[in-house]
Amino acid sequence: MTSRFEVRVATNDDVRAASDVLQAAARFLIERGEPLWDPRDFRCERLARFVTSGELHVTREDGEVVGAFLLQREDELFWPHALRGEALYVHKLATHPDRAGRGAASAALRFALKRARDANCSFVRLDCAPHPRLCAFYERFGFRRYGTDLWRVGSFEAARYELRVS
């Protein structure tokens, strides 16, 4: 079966749409009483540097950007003891709330797994807010909780997950 999603590295032409997705997701979480991100952090001028570095990715459905995320080679804040090059790190994985539940996030994670495999990495890793539904999503995908304690960076507590690349 062919996926109806296209996941790729974002270009300058994608920045506005990626910004819209990430800001909409941030506002949705705030409205739900689960604030995670400040929507202002996803203004176009802030995302542009991730296009330059090749870290910003978009998920498209029927030609429209419905998701965005960062795929990075290191994460010293949440994985300070990790060996360099052993993993790729997913950050800010978001689907536009109007398009949630249709598989865009899973398509993005499959893309990250393929990229990690192609780069000879052993893991795909991520951190997330310890909300039960969010953690369950990653666990259903195959991610395993790394450690039992939450990892704290400033006032943010995160559950850390990794998926071994086979």
The mean pLDDT value for 139-151 works out to 92
pLDDT band of residue 3 (cuts 50, 70, 90) is low
The H or E element spanning position 93 is strand 87-95
Percentage of the residues of the chain whose pLDDT score is greater than 90: 85
The mean pLDDT value for 48-54 works out to 97
Look-up of token digits 């909409």: 24
Decide if 146 contacts 75 (C-beta within 8 A). no
The domains found in the chain, sorted by start residue, are 5-126 (3.40.630.30)
Look-up of token digits 């300070």: 80
Q: What's the pLDDT score for residue 158?
A: 92
pLDDT band of residue 2 (cuts 50, 70, 90) is very low
